Amino acid sequence: MDQRRLILLLVFSLSLVMLWDGWIKHNQPAAPAPVAAAANSGGASVPTPSALAAPGASALPATAAASAAPTVRVVTDLMRADVSAEGGSIVRLELVKHKSTADHERGFLLFDNGEVHRYSAESGLIGTDLPNHRTVFALPEGEQVMKDGEDTLVLRLEAPEQNGVKVTKLMTFHRGSYLVNVDYEIANGSGEPVSGHAYFQLTRDGEPAEQVQAFGVTTFTGPAFYTDAAKFQKVHFEEIAEGKAKFAKTAPDGWVAMVQHYFVSAWLPEVGVEREFFARKVANGLYSAGVILPVDAIAPDASGTAESRLYVGPQEQDKLQDIAPGLDLVVDYGWLTVIAAPLFWVLSWLHDMLGNWGWAIILVTVMLKLLFFPLSAASYKSMAKMRVLGPRMQRMKELYGDDKAKMQQEMMNLYRTEKINPLGGCLPILVQIPVFIALYWVLLGSVEMRQAPWLGWIQDLSAKDPYFILPVIMGASMLIQMKLNPTPPDPLQAKVMMAMPIVFTFMFLWFPSGLVLYWVVNNILSIAQQWQITRMIESAKAGSKPA
């Protein structure tokens, strides 16, 4: 009995440690495989990040005030974007369908010009007479609003003509989409060939984006790179500052992103164009991650283009995987992705039928309970048999309390006689722990759960219960479970076990309410199953006694 209880306690402790450790470390990037530098398709070498020194040297420092350059606002059905005359950078972007955490009357602010963070999407050209992201462009007058019946809105920005070279930056916004096409039209009237490179970068401060209300820990915020050869690679700001960042530097495919909890921005160049990726610290507290693309040489009196797509929006998995290869990997469930991804698929399927994520969580909990029913039944049968043997165990303690070796021997003999496996209650729990933790990451990391209501007082399944009702119910259900279990003969061990509901209740006060909902439903189903099995075992035992 003592061994079994101690092992069960260790299992619970291990699960908590795994949750904590996984939350801290699951976003740590693995060292990528080296990627060999490849020659670009035009025969010219791709410039190293140092080639960006000229356009990047005057990047806005983190301590500076917001740029005084004028901006023009672009309004679509999904976003409000402020585009600066300086470089045509998107310096502020509000997602109107996703509300601010602090103020649900406002849209979520992703790109930010200093209100909370410094975060923008920048681009430019490298070469003689070509504009960079510090060049002042001419803006159209007035707010640019996508009208009813229009599927696209094109913002045209004109750079000052330099020695006959005229550059226009076109930004195309689409209805119902978080994608923005960014194109440069280069008209060469200089009489000499024009060649160069285009760069597209995301510049951000190194501060965490959003705190998760679980132990005050923050989710991963930082750059990420993807290529077909090196796959998905995350880079921490500290690694960039220390010159230790590891990621694929050149490839004929792939993208660069800036990842934060629930949301992402990413430059998505076309596949087949040789590119170089870079990440660097550009000013006090500011970091840039981006990609450099070649621009084909443009003959006199001819025109050329440079282009890329920009995604800026929520991490909606079903949509990201259709936009670019590997983009759905920004939703990172860590080492349990192989379990978490199917769980999310089932949750999404249930949500499509029910229209409510809370009921989907309840149904997936029921499905998991049915899946593990045989294991749970074995566990509860073992506990019920141990409960029936409680009086005999107590008598053993009274007889052999001073002789631990003898007591242990008699307990093992009793287990063999009654055909009880003392580990039977622990092994099923060990098998289920990875599933529980995987569901934890799904509930915590899916933007679909963000501000998703269930019913009544639960209006955001990704946030804590505002009145702590679910955590209290969960604690009560754990207490009932403890009462159904056999009482440990050791008084100290019994007190430790009875304290667990209090400890768990305190911990779950700040957990996302969707996760607490899962635990409450799982506990209620477990209580029903355990009560039924215990009643059957005790009835059978009572019926077998001689009259």
Cα 229 from chain centre? 23
Q: Which residues contact 60 (CB under 8 A, 6 or more apart)?
A: 67, 118, 203, 283, 286
Backbone dihedral region of 450: left (phi > 0), alpha (psi from -120 to 50 degrees) or beta? beta
pLDDT of residue 526 exceeding 80? yes
- Paired tokens of 2: 């003592």
Distance, in Å, from the CA atom of 209 to the CA atom of 219, rounded to the nearest integer, reads: 8
Distance, in Å, from the CA atom of 74 to the CA atom of 460, rounded to the nearest integer, reads: 29
Give domain limits for the chain.
Answer: 68-332, 341-543
pLDDT of residue 181 exceeding 60? yes
Report the C-alpha dihedral over residues 470, 475, 476, 479, rounded to 10 degrees: 160
Residue 278, beta-bridge partner list = 290
Please indicate whether residue 395 or residue 294 has the higher confidence score (pLDDT): 294
Residue 495 binned pLDDT confidence (cut-offs 50, 70, 90) = confident
Distance, in Å, from the CA atom of 419 to the CA atom of 338, rounded to the nearest integer, reads: 37
Right CATH number for 68-332 from 2.70.98.90, 3.90.1200.10, 3.40.50.180, 3.90.550.10?
Answer: 2.70.98.90
% of residues, the chain, pLDDT over 70: 79
Please indicate whether residue 281 or residue 68 has the higher confidence score (pLDDT): 281
Please indicate whether residue 198 or residue 219 has the higher confidence score (pLDDT): 198
The answer to whether residues 380 and 530 touch, using CB atoms and an 8 Å cutoff, is yes
Measured CA to CA in angstroms, residue 150 lies from 93, 147, 175, 183, 309 at distances of: 21, 6, 8, 20, 20
Q: Report pLDDT digits (tens) over 107-144.
A: 999 999 989 999 999 999 999 889 999 999 999 999 99
The single-letter code of the amino acid at 307 is E
Residue 493: the pLDDT is 65
Q: Report pLDDT digits (tens) over 434-490.
A: 887 888 788 878 899 899 999 999 999 988 899 999 999 999 998 888 877 766 656
The closest alpha carbon to 521, from 363, 413, 415, 414, belongs to: 363
pLDDT of residue 339 exceeding 70? yes
Residue 501: the pLDDT is 86
The answer to whether residues 89 and 265 touch, using CB atoms and an 8 Å cutoff, is no
Please indicate whether residue 64 or residue 545 has the higher confidence score (pLDDT): 545
Residue 535 binned pLDDT confidence (cut-offs 50, 70, 90) = confident
pLDDT of residue 323 exceeding 70? yes
Name the pTM for this structure.
Answer: 0.79
